[in-house]
Chains A and B, each alone.
Chain A
């Protein structure tokens, strides 16, 4: 079964989607969309590093993403510039340094487009093992972190006063995010990873009355988007990564449609049960 490249692609997409959904919920709740983008962009620098020193890609990308979060925390402490601006600086400068660094290595031939937009159809068995292994690890960590992370998302001071160490949970969450970005890179590419985190979560919002439901629904929506996108890609011969994001967007737009019982235009607001 795994001999078929398309089956491998489907399994890889599912593996990423089911973990990107729940993790993406926290990205949405904590308003960290730009942060996710920054981490993803820094991945190119990680790839350059891996190629230059002949390291494995995954640890190099993870290392750079972790360093970027550390840099952000340090710059935030220094004060003066808003997080928004700091992220803008880090995001684009790491991407630019990555591109420049690749240009300095004419001996390596890389498929730049593959890194930027993903190459899910080239997923190997080893990649599949890394994806599902990573998903399992991140999933378990997320379950363990759930309470302090959620308490810290609602209010960090409250969580801290009541003994939940939200700072630790936040740091752990950043590492999980870096890890997921490192393994998801191959599927949708550096430039589109954030979409896989945010769009399913945003789509799930409407159908959820509790954080836990939203996380599960986001995973489900991600799985649908990934599978639908791949069939779209197969049927119309479109690039796979962007097709997955388009499929996610279609689901998001469908969820915006008014429910039959609510003919008015207030579909973006959640329905209280």
Chain B
């Protein structure tokens, strides 16, 4: 895990066991960063475990989702991605830990497998009103937004994989959700369609301002717009920005080096280079967002303690604020 994260974990224990007092400088820094936080988390999972058929599907999962952020869950088959997402939105009840959801949280859900039985006649427009009462105009606008307005009267059975996923996405967005949950949204979609779909998802996030919880097993195309990647394998292995996760030993152990390289493709889009001494040089002026993507994790990747260089600290603080928000909610 990232060094900042580790120090915060230690701090948490230190406070718990009375070794440190809240006056500690680190904690002050932590509370400072908390005051900058955008809003309360939509979902806050603490030590969540789900026990089914005599085994734990997931155990000890901590997961927070804040308004407007895109969180991607990755992990091998059977690692509990879907279980975690289902528990987060309340489809499953946790057998350990607890889940807090923001009051009046509206969830839009795109399930992993949705096959409408052919015996059920269902047009695209009718599917839009499965769980919500909306006007014809709203439906039209929603379909238009995902680019399938011309298919409103088509039967869902006649749609292609990509069209169907778009219809499901439009349906989930109709309720103006605070959180959009997408379980493997690019299944049955070809590669170019996949990229278009991911772009659409981040566009929707930007225009509607909803948070997105995305489940993916195809590591190659973890969304470029993902704010945080959480790597699961029955528990949270590692989490952070896409590049930090790709660089973490836990991730490499789980998926192998080749997978890490596949994920690392995203670094090519970053605007910085890693200097041999662990410092980071930016190709242009500081952009807050880019710090977050590239920074703290790199220290970690190079196996170094936290560097006190300016760039490193800026990024580190950001990481810190991310974590501290969750801890403060305990």
At the interface, yes or no: A209 with Cβ under 8 Å from chain B? yes
A133 to B126, CA, bound (A): 31
Instruction: Assess the B120–A161 pair: CB atoms within 8 A.
Output: no
Residues in B whose Cβ lies below 8 Å from that of A202: 119
Out of B123, B131, B181, name the residue touching A159 (CB < 8 Å).
Answer: B131
At the interface, yes or no: A205 with Cβ under 8 Å from chain B? yes
* Closest chain B residue, CB of each to CB of A79: B53
Out of B86, B126, B153, name the residue touching A157 (CB < 8 Å).
Answer: B86
* Closest chain B residue, CB of each to CB of A204: B121
Instruction: Assess the B122–A211 pair: CB atoms within 8 A.
Output: yes
At the interface, yes or no: B290 with Cβ under 8 Å from chain A? no
Query: Knowing A147-B131, A151-B130 touch, does A214 contact B109 (C-beta < 8 A)?
Result: no
* Closest chain A residue, CB of each to CB of B183: A157
Distance from A211 Cβ to chain B, minimum over Cβ atoms (Å): 6
How many residues of A are in contact with the other chain, CB < 8 A? 31
At the interface, yes or no: A273 with Cβ under 8 Å from chain B? yes
Instruction: Assess the A29–B111 pair: CB atoms within 8 A.
Output: no
Mark B109-149 against chain A: 1 for CB-CB distance below 8 A, else 0: 11100101111111100110011100000000000000000
At the interface, yes or no: B31 with Cβ under 8 Å from chain A? no
Which residues 113-146 of A have a CB within 8 angstroms of B? none
Distance from A162 Cβ to chain B, minimum over Cβ atoms (Å): 4
Instruction: Assess the A205–B109 pair: CB atoms within 8 A.
Output: no
* Closest chain A residue, CB of each to CB of B132: A162
Out of A30, A79, A153, A205, name the residue touching B121 (CB < 8 Å).
Answer: A205
Instruction: Assess the B109–A158 pair: CB atoms within 8 A.
Output: yes
Query: Knowing A155-B111, A157-B91, A158-B111 touch, does A205 contact B131 (C-beta < 8 A)?
Result: no
At the interface, yes or no: A82 with Cβ under 8 Å from chain B? no
Which residues 151-192 of B have a CB within 8 angstroms of A? 153-155, 158, 175, 181
Residues in A whose Cβ lies below 8 Å from that of B110: 158
Q: Which of A30, A158, A159, A213 has the most CB of B within 10 A?
A: A158
Residues in A whose Cβ lies below 8 Å from that of B181: 161
Instruction: Assess the A272–B114 pair: CB atoms within 8 A.
Output: no
Residues in B whose Cβ lies below 8 Å from that of A211: 120-122, 126
At the interface, yes or no: B90 with Cβ under 8 Å from chain A? yes
At the interface, yes or no: B75 with Cβ under 8 Å from chain A? no
At the interface, yes or no: B107 with Cβ under 8 Å from chain A? yes
Instruction: Assess the B121–A209 pair: CB atoms within 8 A.
Output: yes
Residues in B whose Cβ lies below 8 Å from that of A272: 154-155, 158
A14 to B54, CA, bound (A): 50
Query: Knowing A158-B131, A164-B131, A209-B155 touch, does A28 contact B89 (C-beta < 8 A)?
Result: no
At the interface, yes or no: A199 with Cβ under 8 Å from chain B? no
Instruction: Assess the A31–B90 pair: CB atoms within 8 A.
Output: no
Distance from A210 Cβ to chain B, minimum over Cβ atoms (Å): 5
Out of B108, B123, B153, name the residue touching A162 (CB < 8 Å).
Answer: B108
A163 to B178, CA, bound (A): 14
Distance from A271 Cβ to chain B, minimum over Cβ atoms (Å): 9
Residues in A whose Cβ lies below 8 Å from that of B130: 147, 150-151, 154, 158-159
Distance from A258 Cβ to chain B, minimum over Cβ atoms (Å): 19
Which residues 25-43 of A have a CB within 8 angstroms of B? 28-31
Mark A31-65 against chain B: 1 for CB-CB distance below 8 A, else 0: 10000000000000000000000000000000000
A173 to B73, CA, bound (A): 36
At the interface, yes or no: A76 with Cβ under 8 Å from chain B? no
Query: Knowing A150-B130, A161-B89, A161-B181 touch, does A28 contact B111 (C-beta < 8 A)?
Result: no
Q: Which of B91, B154, B181 has the most CB of A within 10 A?
A: B91
Query: Knowing A157-B109, A158-B114, A158-B131 touch, does A273 contact B121 (C-beta < 8 A)?
Result: no
Out of B53, B109, B131, B155, name the residue touching A270 (CB < 8 Å).
Answer: B155
Mark B96-112 against chain A: 1 for CB-CB distance below 8 A, else 0: 00000000000111110
A147 to B107, CA, bound (A): 17
Distance from B252 Cβ to chain A, minimum over Cβ atoms (Å): 33
A31 to B126, CA, bound (A): 21
A273 to B155, CA, bound (A): 9
Distance from A115 Cβ to chain B, minimum over Cβ atoms (Å): 30
Residues in B whose Cβ lies below 8 Å from that of A208: 121
Residues in A whose Cβ lies below 8 Å from that of B89: 161
At the interface, yes or no: A238 with Cβ under 8 Å from chain B? no
Mark A207-236 against chain B: 1 for CB-CB distance below 8 A, else 0: 011110110000000000000000000000
Residues in B whose Cβ lies below 8 Å from that of A210: 121-123, 126
At the interface, yes or no: A7 with Cβ under 8 Å from chain B? no
Residues in A whose Cβ lies below 8 Å from that of B91: 157, 160-161
Residues in B whose Cβ lies below 8 Å from that of A159: 130-131
Instruction: Assess the B107–A29 pair: CB atoms within 8 A.
Output: no
A270 to B127, CA, bound (A): 17
Instruction: Assess the B127–A154 pair: CB atoms within 8 A.
Output: yes
- The contact sample of 17 A-B pairs, CB cut-off 8 A, is A29-B117, A151-B131, A153-B120, A157-B86, A158-B130, A159-B130, A159-B131, A161-B86, A161-B107, A162-B131, A164-B131, A201-B119, A209-B121, A210-B122, A211-B120, A270-B118, A270-B155
Q: Please give me the 3 A-B residue pairs with the lowest Cβ-Cβ distance, nearest first.
A: A161-B109, A162-B131, A29-B120
Seen from chain B, the residues whose Cβ lies within 8 Å of a Cβ on chain A are 53, 86, 89-91, 107-111, 114, 116-123, 126-127, 130-132, 153-155, 158, 175, 181
